[in-house]
Each structure stands twice: as structure tokens, then as C-alpha cells.
Amino acid sequence: MPSVILLLILPLFGAVLCALLPARHADKCAIGATGGMLLSLVWLLLARPGGNWQSLPLTWRWLQGSFREGLFGFLLDPLALLLLLVVVVLGFLVVLYATAYLGAGNREHADVTGKSRHHAWLLLFITAMIGVALSPNLLQLYLFWEMTTLCSWALISHYRNPESLRAGFKALLMTFSGGLFFALGLVLLYVHTGSFAFDAHSDLAPRMRLWVFLSFAVAAWAKSAQFPFFTWLPDAMAAPTTVSMYLHAAAMVKAGVFLMVRLALANPGLPWTAGLVVAVLAVVTMLVALWLFFFQDDLKKLLAYSTIAHLSYVFLGVGVAIMGSRLGAYAGAMHIMNHSVGKGLLFLSVGVLSYTAGTRRISELAGVARHSPLAAIAFMVGMLAILGVPPFSGFWSKFYLMVAALKLGGAAGWLLLIPFALEIAVAFAWFLHIGHKVFFGPASGHAAKAGALPGVMAAALIILMLLTLLAPWAAMQLMGAMGL
């Protein structure tokens, strides 16, 4: 238990310190806080009786009152641990990376003043995400949920130029409007069942169940940038790469899909129609994002659209699970982790291009591999992880998803599988094309003049590359403990 509290408090403490202390201490505070957080996670994992995950879930209630499950507290089951691992491990890596990335050496955005502001908001965001992961009910989840929205606004607007201010405001407006539906769902749920518990949907009348679930789904669609609420995410790429990687690929956008997986696993009796809506919208999002791949010249925007498509994989899994093939929800949960490491790696290697070559435009880059081999290898590994080539992470959950869709049987299964398979194939073709174009061949001017890569950034890349191999194993273990 102390380790859990430490986990929540350390980044918050770090955030306060970063904000108050002079800028020259920012890096130390941030590294110290996230390092401590990482250690307390290790402690948490080791302190499990017998060290196995079967003894989860751990619950701790606070302000119990008349509530069945308590108003606040912690729930640490394998699903929570899955998100927690992503948030904590990637949080540490991104802070490590940011200590070098945000600085005078950055050729795209030489930034000397904003470091402590960046670190403070980022650490606050990590706190919020840990809160989301550990929430035992929907109410507490909602509070931390909106906290992440706020941090996202501040971090997207980090550079304070008109473009990023606008993007930050847009993201805030859209995710917050979606969040209103979360509040609506909460109110409806509480009025009808007197509970905020994840599994309270089962106590609702079937008609009501659909509407309550769909209002949570709207919130999740907005948070996870699904059609028709996806337009804020590509604009949010105005943020520093560290923020794009952590908030808009690895952690914050995962909150929405995490909520969906939670609800789908906790409530076996959700209506079939709800599943169909979620799954069809997922497929639509996938195809829209796929179509927009072809028009991107900014590597980060391309990755943003790919993130949108991959989040819809999770939605597809959830939809399929509600429609009757429960494997889908587990597959979606695994994809949360597998996608985070792969996409995180991609973003960080694009960050390397920004840092060393000063551009991330596809048309200005070629032959990067010759002068920045590590960035090239990292990008290729991340790409293969995203595209689903074994042994890297994406393959495993994608295969589960295909199995889940086909297990559904009948026309629905095929109608979901075919666009999914199409997306896999075309995304494969396009990303491989871009990978070849940017990293191989004769070097372009920008690539040939690339500067040196700081050691901490290289270290973050290497650790993430290893994680693309380890993540699927951990995800499978966790889901096995969750009852897969």
C-alpha cells in the first residue's frame, strides 16, 4: 500500500518542485521524481505476496459512506497494472529524453526557458494518469480524466506561438466537450443505480444501459480521437515531441480506450447494438485515418493519424467483445501496451530527427540512416512493431484482434475483419514506403548535416527498443491473470 501512495505522490511532489525551484534544478527534480516513481512501481511488483499477479486485485477504500465500493480509493487489478506500467515506464523514459530534447541544442525548437514549465505540467500529467489507472470507480476516474485534459491543454500550448495556442485550445474544447458526456453518463448511472462502480451498468434497464454506455463512449471517442472527434489530435502535434509521444500516443489518448476496455470487461451484459456502434465507428475511423496517411508531409502528423487508427483497433476489440467475442477486449487491452511502446519509439526517433537535423518534413529528409544509424534503427523497429511484424509488439495483439473478429462468426465478423485486414496491408505499404524514403537511399542535405545525438536520448531509444520485445510478453501475462 505505501508503494501505491508513493507512486501517486512522487510525481505530484516533483511537479510542485519543478514549478517552484529555479529552472536549473528542473531536470534533477523531474528525474528524481520519475525515478522514484519507477522504483516504487518495482517495489509494488516485488511486494506482491508471492510476487504473482494472481493475487490482484488490490483494493483500498476511502470515504466509504453509503457507497457499495467506496467513493475513492485504489483498484490495482491486472488491467490497471497494464496501464500503470505504460504510464510509469514510458513516463520515466520521456522525462529522461526531455532533459536533453528541450534545450539549446535542439535544431528545430531551441528552447531554453520553458523547461521547468514543461516538466511541471508533464509530472502533473503523470500523476493524473496514474490516478486514471488506479481509479476504483467511474467518479474518481472522471476527476483524473479531466485533470489530464487540463495538462494536455497546457502542454500542447507549450511553445506559446499562435499555432500551438490554437491547437491547445482546440484540444481542450473538444476533449472537454466529450468529457461532458462522461459527466452525463455518471449522473444517469448514479441516478438509476446509486453507484459509480464500473460494473453498475449491469443494474440498469437494457434500454438505459445502451444510452449510458454510449455517453461514456462519446467521452472516450473524444479523448481517444476517434471519428468524428479526431481532428484535434493532428493539430496537437504542435506540441514538443516529448508531449506528442507521451500524451498523444502513449498515455492520455489511452485513457479513453482504457475506460472502454474497463467497462466492456466489467459488464458482460452490454447490449449488442452498443458493440456494433463502437465496432463500426472503429472501422470508419481506421479507414479515414488510413486515407489521410497519404497527404501528410509532417512525420509527426503521419504518426498522429496512425495513432488514431491504432486506437480504433482497441475500439474494434471492445466492440467485438460486446458483440460476443470476449477475446476482443483482452486483445484491445494488450494493444494499449503494445502500441504505446511502438508508437513511443517512433515519436522519439522522429524527435531525434527534429533535434539533430532540424526538420521532420518527409520531403526534406532522405538517407538518414547513413548519419544517424540509431534513429534509423529505432524508427524501423518502432515501425515494425506498429505494423505487426513479429517478434515486435504490435503483431501479438493484432493477431488476437483478428482471431477475436473471426471468432465472432457470421457476416458481422467478416465485415469487420475485411476493412481491418485492408488497413493492416495498406498501412504496411505506406509506412514501409515512408521508412524507405526518409531513412534509406542517398542522404539529403538536412540528413547529411545532422548533429550529434545526446546520450540520454539514445538510451531512451535503446530501452524502448528492448521494450517492444518485452511488452507483448508482459501484456499477455497480465491478461492471463485477468482471466483471458
Partner 1 sequence: MNAFFSAQGCYLAGALLALLVGGKRKAVGWVAFGAAAFGTLFILTAVLGVFREGPVSSGLPILQVPGLGAALIYQIDYLSALFLAIIAVVSLLVTLYAQRFMQIAHYRAGSLRYFYSILLFFFAAVLNVVVVADLFFFFVFWEIMTLTSYLMVIFRQEERVRLRAGYKYFLITHIATIFLFIGGILLYRLSGSFSFSFLKMAMAEMQQSQPGLLHFVLGCFFLGFATKAGILPMGDWLPDAYPAAPAPASAAFAGSMTKLGIYGLVRVFCGLLPLSSHTQIWGLIIALFGAGSILVGTMTALVQEDAKRLLSFHVIGQMGYMFLAIGTGLYFLRTQPVIGMIGLGAGIFHLINHVSYKSCLFFNAGAVFYKTGTRDINKVGGLARVLPVTAATAIIASLSIAGIPPFSGFASKWLIYQAALRGGFSVPVFIILGLIAIFISAVTLASFVKFFGALFFGKYEDNGSKARVGDVPAAMRLPQIILAALCILFGLLPQLPLGWVYRSIAYLFPPGSMPAAASIYGGGLLNGLSLNVAGSTAAWNALLLTVIFGLCALLAWGLFRAGGARVRSVETWYCGEEMSDRDTRYRAHGFYLPFKQIFRLRIGRYERPGIYPTITWPKRLFRKEPALNRAIDLDRWLYQPLARSAVRLMRRFSATHSGVPHLYLLWLAAGAALALIILYSFSGGK
Q: Which residues bind partner 1 (CB under 8 A)?
A: 173-174, 228, 230-231, 288, 291-292, 294-295, 327, 330, 367, 369-370, 384, 389-391, 395-396, 399-400, 402-403, 406-407, 409, 417, 421, 424-425, 428-429, 432-433, 436, 439-442, 476-477, 479-480, 484
Nearest-approach distance from CB 375 to partner 1, in angstroms? 14
Is the Cβ–Cβ distance between 331 and 472 less than 8 Å?
A: no
Nearer to partner 1, 101 or 230 (CB): 230
Residues 341, 440, 453, 123, Cα dihedral to 10°: -30
Q: First and final CA of the chain: distance in angstroms?
A: 26
Cα separations (Å) of 234 from 33, 108, 150, 299?
30, 19, 18, 11
Query: At residue 61, what are phi and psi to the nearest 5 degrees?
Result: -105, 150
CA distance 445 to 442: 10
Nearest-approach distance from CB 277 to partner 1, in angstroms? 18
Nearest-approach distance from CB 291 to partner 1, in angstroms? 6
CA distance 478 to 142: 24
Nearest-approach distance from CB 116 to partner 1, in angstroms? 33
User: CA quadruple 87, 32, 238, 129: dihedral positive or negative?
Assistant: positive
What is the Cβ-side half-sphere exposure of residue 314, based on CA atoms within 13 angstroms? Answer: 34
Nearer to partner 1, 418 or 452 (CB): 418
Nearer to partner 1, 213 or 229 (CB): 229
Nearer to partner 1, 53 or 74 (CB): 53
Nearer to partner 1, 208 or 432 (CB): 432
Nearer to partner 1, 143 or 429 (CB): 429
Is the Cβ–Cβ distance between 221 and 288 less than 8 Å?
A: no
Nearest-approach distance from CB 403 to partner 1, in angstroms? 5
Nearest-approach distance from CB 469 to partner 1, in angstroms? 12
Nearer to partner 1, 61 or 370 (CB): 370
List of E strands, 56-127: 58-62, 72-76
**Which among 109, 37, 8, 35 has a CA at the least distance from the CA of 456?**
35
**Which among 196, 211, 184, 114 has a CA at the least distance from the CA of 156?**
114
Nearest-approach distance from CB 231 to partner 1, in angstroms? 5
- Calculate the CA 145 to chain-centre distance: 13
Nearer to partner 1, 147 or 284 (CB): 284
Q: Which residue has the cell 508482459?
A: 474
**Which among 132, 169, 131 has a CA at the least distance from the CA of 152?**
169
Angle between the 455-482 and 393-408 helix axes, to the nearest 10 degrees? 30
B/e letters for 76-115, b = 16+ CB within 10 Å, e = fewer, are: bbbbbbbbbbbbbbbbbbbbbbbbbbbbeebbbbebeebb
Q: Which residue has the cell 465485415?
A: 415
Q: Which three cell numbers stand for residue 435?
A: 521508412
444 burial via Cβ count (<10 Å: 0-12, 13-18, 19+)? middle
Nearest-approach distance from CB 441 to partner 1, in angstroms? 5
Nearer to partner 1, 190 or 428 (CB): 428
Nearer to partner 1, 74 or 330 (CB): 330
Nearer to partner 1, 112 or 173 (CB): 173
Nearer to partner 1, 43 or 428 (CB): 428
Nearest-approach distance from CB 78 to partner 1, in angstroms? 11
User: CA quadruple 313, 318, 322, 325: dihedral positive or negative?
Assistant: positive
CA distance 191 to 124: 32
Nearest-approach distance from CB 432 to partner 1, in angstroms? 6
Nearest-approach distance from CB 307 to partner 1, in angstroms? 17
Nearest-approach distance from CB 98 to partner 1, in angstroms? 30
Q: Give residue 408's identity as a one-letter amino acid code.
A: L
Which residues share a beta bridge with 119? Answer: none
